[in-house]
């Protein structure tokens, strides 16, 4: 394509609204423009990348045996009422009314619609399993859209849904999708990790994995093992217990607990500095309201409660910290002095890491007092012992029990779920088995954030000068630059090479603009196509400059050599 | 692809909700399923067709030099306020609010958004002209969605927008698009006509043409010439005047007009039968309210007023027939007795076809009376003489003045417009000319109903047994049917041919279902792939049946012959 007439507006200045590198680059290199918060127009260069990502996803999905179809953006509210998600999904669900005042939703996901379709169209076990997918525009009214395409309100997703007669069959397809996702993210040239994850709003009763692209700006923390392949979202990660349980200090045959005066000392930090002990020697107690019921949660002083684990433990819809008034009413003391000893009328959940711990400190449920020499098993009873905390860096890996946990930041670009019957039961999706008996279908679902991947790639592939596109998704493979478009020889040589390369199926961007060389090169680095061929003064001798964006290596080659080199790099000839 | 596991639910019964053949066929052949009125899911077979149509459109657009980009579905209300269309577009515009109570629109078209984008990104005459397009899901809250994909609420469109420094440049691109559209519709294998049309809600001050696919169920009437290539939408069609003017009978030197008693005779039909004269000898007068002003319109008794022409004449926003009360107040007589003679206080518009006519009949503006021997030029003055009527079949062609007008029904599948500055002025889209002076951009826009084309194709390509897909958009090119999947030889022969054809890039649907032969053949006719190869009992001898869906011709061929025949038909080898 010829650059002169192309809508490819590059920016020298870094746009103010962009916080992260990928967002800056996609604006500066003319890939997208914002129309409203979280809503973008893909300019020609950006659309070419999006289509390439889409095609890699499509090819691998087809290879896996999945069938492509396409559902609508508009979904009648009834299907969301059926599964209860009309109420559960919250303000992120975009709702609207049609001219007859009927409620509709702009689909953020399509479990309801596909399950109803399959219910109507597939009746026999003979037709199962099947796996169907679509690549389609989705909507989510994010409270805080940001980071360009990373968290948008309108975005492109691949979503797949599989239907089965048994969990074994679901397991097989799930494993297949796990492999397919690995192939997709590998072909995209991304540094990624599949991690165990929390099912969130999609739900489901089986396994689920997120495919995380590693990047410092990622909104998720991933816990991985230094030794084995364990990897989990922090929301989901666990640690090997023996190690963790040894955390709380003193001795096992501690004296009877006693009150100590701790005036105005409400936080662990304040206690640590006034008492001169480790944070890990405290039994931190928090009051939660879980589906309306008050629950006390006790974790080690240096640990954080993981509310998603808590939610899972109670199979709850809502988990919130109790307010000050509730705390005072339940414990008789103000916030900052809660403790598990003698606490009445509430269930006490004790984190695994302290269930068998030795003596430590805890709040006394009395203003300005704490207790010392509190021993969990001795001084307070747990309603339940459970894993309800976030793991820490340095914890022991729960899988190999040898390596240590370390943290990375990741961008969630894919998520696969074993749903079970979460949607098929309310929708009534059944099939007739070999004995003509109705059975409920078992489901899986599998998503990829196609547009988000563009952001993820840019976070990983850039330098100070701009983007460094991986070959498989580069908008063009070659940037061909005649330095001076008023020089007849340069133009002639460039045009001939342009024609020859295109004939071979190479995607070439020809910078036919009447601009200074410096401007052209700066734009070229910014746009970041894998190969640059510069046609300059030596064009008369049939010599051009051949430069690889990634390595920065450049060499002077004859036209013939450059041609062969490009075919080799681009088409693998 | 293997049919057994494919979601390809064929129906024997004709679904009740489907009125027209294309809608019946797309449901029966498992191309789509309805989710809500005017909202559809594309099943795998339907999606394949849609993608093929999309690709033909894309290829031809690219060939024309247009650039593809992709705008969003969500559009902030402000851009629609800017051009006034927030108010003008009416209830077909889908509106919603986001979580912050800001107004948004689901784009039915993108003039506002693209004009704002181009305004921001293109500043110099050097970058013009350009033509950009997208293929994207659109929304229109139709009052009465119907006929399947023909009039949906969510549909796929190709919309292109061009920007120019002069009308000459716009004319060139418009001509190019006219050619491109002809190529597209020809490649799609459609019987179509480009016709002069009315600009409607898109507007614009230059030419506009609709691309009409001829079909009896079409919602538009097209007037074409029996002799030359004249073709226009009925809303827009004109007739050669000399002929039309001669229509009203009597003589030119008629006596003075006089009242005749016509008790309870209010309609032209009643007058025709009670007076025993032709309908064409009446001057039919109607009262309209045009943007709040009362206007009388006089046409020949056998003619119909064309309200769009009237709207254009007054450059009006609204044109409505006056109610009975207004008629009585203005004319002094009840409805049915209005006439142009002596009418006061209203502008009188006289249709061209009667401006120079001889004597005829008209209402007397008095209950139960008409006038005879009324001569237009003599007895009543026209505020304006204009073409404000629908042409009739048999009228003389306005272009060649030889042929006669005849009517066809058509489905509007494309529409191209010379917009001029309708959008660039309110949006403020200017560029700097050679003298660094700001000038307003001149625009064109060009739409194709991608999903509607699927309906149009089905209307034209079917027989009693089902669909007859044209090769370029057939979901698969070959239907390969082993008659008995329990017969090892048949299966082996079919599988081998399946593999060989796929290797050559032929798209094959393999009917590997364990169904009776009758069911398979019925489904095959219904689905309508261009070529069917049946592997039956003669498979043992290496003989298969080769059948062309369109002609119904079938022959027994050796495997090798069938293979060659398919390559020839499908790939043109």
- B333/B186 Cα distance (integer angstroms): 56
Residue A509 at interface with chain B, using a CB cutoff of 8 Å: no
Give the pLDDT band of residue A201 (cuts 50, 70, 90).
low
Picking from A5, A70, A130, the nearest residue to B47 by CB comes out as A70
Which domain range does residue A331 map to?
Answer: 242-386
B63 and B133 inside one domain: yes
- Probe site for chain B from A55, A61, A70, A124 (most B CB atoms < 10 A): A70
Place of tokens 């020697």: A281
Rounded distance between C-alpha atoms, residue A42 and residue B464, angstroms: 45
Give me chain A's average pLDDT, please: 93
- Say yes or no: B12 contacts chain A, CB-CB below 8 A: no
Q: φ and ψ at A122, to 5 degrees?
A: -125, 120
With b for 16 or more beta-carbon neighbours within 10 A and e for fewer, the A217-234 pattern comes to bbebbbbbbeeeebbbbb
Residue B397 lies in a domain: no
Contact A3, A511 (CB under 8 A): yes
Instruction: Tell me what the pLDDT averaged over chain B comes to.
Output: 93
Residues A359 and A438 placed together within one structural domain of the fold: no
pLDDT at A245: 42
What percent of chain A is modeled with pLDDT above 90?
84
Q: Are residues B30 and B126 in the same domain?
A: yes
- Chain-chain contact of B42 with A69 (C-beta, under 8 angstroms): yes
- Verify that B123 and B197 share a domain, yes or no: yes
Residues A180, A267 within the same domain? no
- Confidence category of residue B317, pLDDT binned at 50, 70, 90: confident
Contact at 8 Å (CB) between A177 and A445? no
Least confident range from A201-205, A236-240, A248-252, A370-374: namely A248-252
Mean pLDDT of A294-308: 94
Among B386, B415, B448, identify where a domain stops. B386
CB B247 within 8 A of CB B279: no
Q: Which residue of A has its CA nearest to B8?
A: A121
User: For residue A53, is it within any domain?
Assistant: no
Are both A556 and A516 inside the same structural domain? yes
Looking at chain B, the whole-number percentage of residues with pLDDT higher than 90 is 84
SS3 B215: coil
pLDDT in tens, A61-76: 999 999 999 999 999 9
pLDDT of residue A243: 41
Across the interface, whether the CB atoms of B117 and A41 are under 8 A apart is answered: yes
Q: Is the pLDDT of residue A104 over 80?
A: yes
The shortest C-alpha distance from A385 to chain B (Å) reads 40
The CATH number of residue B224's host domain is 3.30.930.10
**Nearest residue, CB atoms, B68 vs list A47, A75, A104:** A47
Region B316-332: what's the mean pLDDT? Answer: 92
Tell me: do B149 and B54 sit in the same domain.
yes
CATH number at residue B275: 3.90.960.10
Q: How confident is the model at residue B246 (pLDDT cuts 50, 70, 90)?
A: very low
Distance CA A497, CA A92 (A): 51
Contacting residues of B for A74, CB less than 8 Å apart: 35-36, 39, 139, 153-154
Q: Cα–Cα distance between B280 and B282 in angstroms, integer?
A: 6
Give the residue from A67, A112, A507 with the most B CB atoms within 10 Å of its CB, the best one to mutate: A67
Task: Flag whether pLDDT at B251 surpasses 80.
Answer: no
Does A23 fall in a domain? Answer: no
| The three-state (H, E, C) secondary structure of B375-435, written as one string | CHHHHCCCCEEECCECCCCCCECCCCCCCEEEEEEEEEEEEEEEEECCCHHHHCCEEECCC
Tell me which of A97-111, A261-275, A520-534, B61-75 is least confident: A261-275
Mean pLDDT of the region B506-510: 98
- For residue A246, pLDDT over 70 is answered with no
| Whole-angstrom distance, CA of residue B27 vs CA of residue B256 | 65
Does the beta-carbon distance from B44 to A36 stay under 8 Å?
no
Q: Are A77 and A105 in contact (CB under 8 A)?
A: yes
- Per-residue confidence band for B573, with pLDDT thresholds at 50, 70 and 90: low
Helix (H, G, I), strand (E, B), or coil: what is residue B330? helix
What integer pLDDT is reported at residue B8 of this predicted model?
Answer: 96
How many CB atoms are located within 10 Å of the residue B300 CB? 25
A417 shares a domain with A445 = yes
Give the integer Cα–Cα distance in Å for A340 and A342. 6
Answer yes or no: is B463 within a domain.
Answer: no
Long-range contacts formed by B556-565: CB under 8 A, 24+ apart: B559/B493, B559/B496, B559/B497, B562/B497, B562/B533, B563/B497, B563/B500, B563/B501
CB A62 within 8 A of CB B2: no
Residue B465, H or E segment: none
* Cα distance between residue B152 and residue B145, in whole Å: 5
Residue A47 lies in a domain: no
CB contact under 8 A, B154 and A74: yes
pLDDT one-digit tens code per residue, B361-382: 999 999 999 999 998 888 888 7
Q: What percent of chain B has pLDDT over 70?
A: 97
B230 and B250 together in one domain: no
CA distance A6 to B131: 10
Same domain for B36 and B147, yes or no, is yes
Task: Pick the most confident of A10-24, A59-73, A235-249.
Answer: A59-73
Domain count, chain A: 3
Tell me the pLDDT tens digit for each residue of B201-236: 667 778 999 999 999 998 889 999 999 999 999 988
Task: For residue B3, tell me if it sits in a domain.
Answer: no
Q: What is the pLDDT of residue A249?
A: 47
Going along B490-530, which residue ranges are E strands? 508-510
pLDDT greater than 60 at residue A567:
yes
- The length of chain B is 573
- Contacts A76 to B, Cβ<8 Å: 35-36, 39
Q: What is the pLDDT of residues A157-182, one digit of tens each?
A: 999 999 999 999 999 999 999 999 99
Beta-ladder partners of A23: none
Quick check: B431 and B122 in contact, CB under 8 A?
yes
pLDDT of residue B344: 86
Q: Read off the pLDDT of each residue in A241-247 and give the average, rounded to a whole number.
A: 49
Distance CA A405, CA A138 (A): 35
Distance CA B339, CA B333 (A): 10
Select from B1, B69, B104 the Cβ nearest to the Cβ of A42: B69
- At residue A573, the pLDDT reads 59
pLDDT (average), residues A434-447 = 97
- B96 neighbourhood in chain A, CB within 8 Å: 94-96, 106
CB of A327 within 8 A of CB of A335?
Answer: yes
- Beta-carbon neighbour count of residue B260 at 10 Å? 16
pLDDT over threshold 70, residue A58: yes
Is B43 part of the contact surface with chain A (CB cutoff 8 Å)? yes
Whether residue A153 lies inside any domain: the answer is yes
Nearest to B247 by CA among B298, B296, B309, B302: B302
Q: Considering only CA atoms, which of A467, A408, A449 is closest in space to residue A214?
A: A408
Q: Tell me: pLDDT of B250 over 60.
A: no
Give the H or E element holding residue B373.
strand B369-374
Per the domain annotation, does B469 fall within a domain? no
Q: Is the pLDDT of residue A482 over 50?
A: yes
Q: Over 80: is that where the pLDDT of B249 sits? A: no
A95 touches chain B (CB under 8 A): yes
Cβ(B155)–Cβ(B447) below 8 Å: no
Shared-domain flag, residues B43 and B144: yes
- Asked if residue A549 and residue A424 are part of one domain, the reply reads no
Residue window 125-144, chain A: list those with CB within 8 Å of chain B: 126-127, 130, 132, 137, 139, 141, 143
Residue B556, pLDDT score? 97
- ipTM of this complex prediction, to 2 decimal places: 0.89
């Amino acid at each position: 394509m010829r650059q002169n007439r192309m809508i490819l507006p590059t920016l020298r200045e870094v746009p103010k609204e962009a916080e992260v590198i990928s967002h800056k680059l996609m604006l500066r290199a003319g890939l997208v423009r914002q129309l409203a918060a979280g809503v973008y127009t893909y300019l020609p260069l950006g659309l070419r990348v999006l289509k390439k990502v889409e095609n890699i996803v499509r090819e691998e999905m087809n290879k896996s045996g999945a069938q492509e179809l396409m559902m609508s953006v508009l979904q009648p509210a009834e299907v969301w009422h059926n599964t209860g998600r009309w109420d559960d999904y919250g303000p992120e669900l975009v709702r609207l009314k049609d001219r007859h005042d009927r409620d509709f939703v702009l689909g953020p996901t399509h479990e309801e619609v596909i399950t109803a379709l399959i219910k109507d169209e597939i009746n026999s076990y003979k037709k199962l399993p099947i796996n169907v997918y679509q690549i389609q525009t989705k909507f989510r009214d994010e409270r805080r859209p940001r980071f360009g395409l990373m968290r948008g309100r309108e975005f492109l997703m691949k979503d797949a849904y599989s239907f089965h007669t048994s969990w074994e069959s679901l397991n097989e397809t799930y494993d297949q999708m796990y492999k397919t996702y690995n192939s997709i993210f590998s072909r995209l040239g991304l540094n990624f990790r599949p991690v165990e994850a929390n099912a969130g709003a999609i739900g489901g009763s089986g396994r689920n994995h997120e495919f995380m692209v590693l990047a410092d700006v990622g909104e998720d923390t991933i816990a991985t093992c230094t030794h084995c392949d364990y990897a989990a979202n922090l929301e989901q990660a666990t640690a090997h217990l023996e190690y963790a349980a040894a955390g709380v200090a003193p001795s096992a045959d501690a004296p009877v607990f006693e009150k100590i005066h701790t005036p105005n000392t409400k936080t662990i930090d304040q206690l640590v500095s006034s008492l001169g002990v480790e944070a890990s020697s405290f039994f931190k107690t928090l009051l939660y309201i879980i589906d309306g019921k008050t629950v006390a949660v006790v974790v080690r002083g240096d640990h954080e409660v993981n509310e998603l684990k808590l939610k899972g433990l109670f199979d709850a819809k809502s988990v919130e910290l109790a307010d000050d008034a509730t705390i005072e009413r339940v414990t008789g003391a103000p916030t900052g002095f809660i403790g598990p000893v003698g606490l009445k009328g509430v269930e006490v959940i004790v984190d695994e890491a302290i269930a068998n711990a030795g003596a430590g400190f805890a709040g006394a449920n009395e203003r300005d007092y704490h207790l010392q020499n509190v021993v969990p098993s001795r001084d307070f009873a747990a309603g339940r012992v459970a894993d309800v905390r976030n793991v820490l860096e340095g914890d022991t890996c729960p899988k190999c029990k040898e390596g240590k946990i370390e943290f990375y930041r990741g961008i969630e670009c894919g998520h696969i779920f074993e749903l079970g019957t979460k949607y098929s039961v309310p929708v009534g999706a059944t099939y007739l088995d070999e004995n003509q008996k109705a059975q409920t279908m078992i489901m899986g679902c599998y998503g990829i954030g196609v547009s988000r991947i563009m952001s993820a790639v840019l976070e990983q592939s850039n330098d100070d000068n701009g983007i460094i596109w991986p070959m498989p998704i580069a908008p063009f493979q070659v940037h061909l630059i005649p330095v001076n478009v008023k020089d007849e020889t340069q133009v002639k040589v460039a045009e001939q090479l342009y024609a020859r390369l295109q004939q071979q199926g190479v995607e070439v961007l020809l910078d036919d603009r009447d601009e200074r060389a410096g401007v052209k090169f700066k734009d070229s680095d910014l746009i970041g196509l894998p190969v640059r061929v510069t046609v300059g003064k030596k064009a008369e001798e049939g010599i051009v400059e051949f430069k690889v964006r990634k390595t920065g290596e450049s060499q002077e080659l004859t036209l013939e050599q450059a041609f062969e080199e490009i075919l080799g790099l681009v088409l693998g000839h």
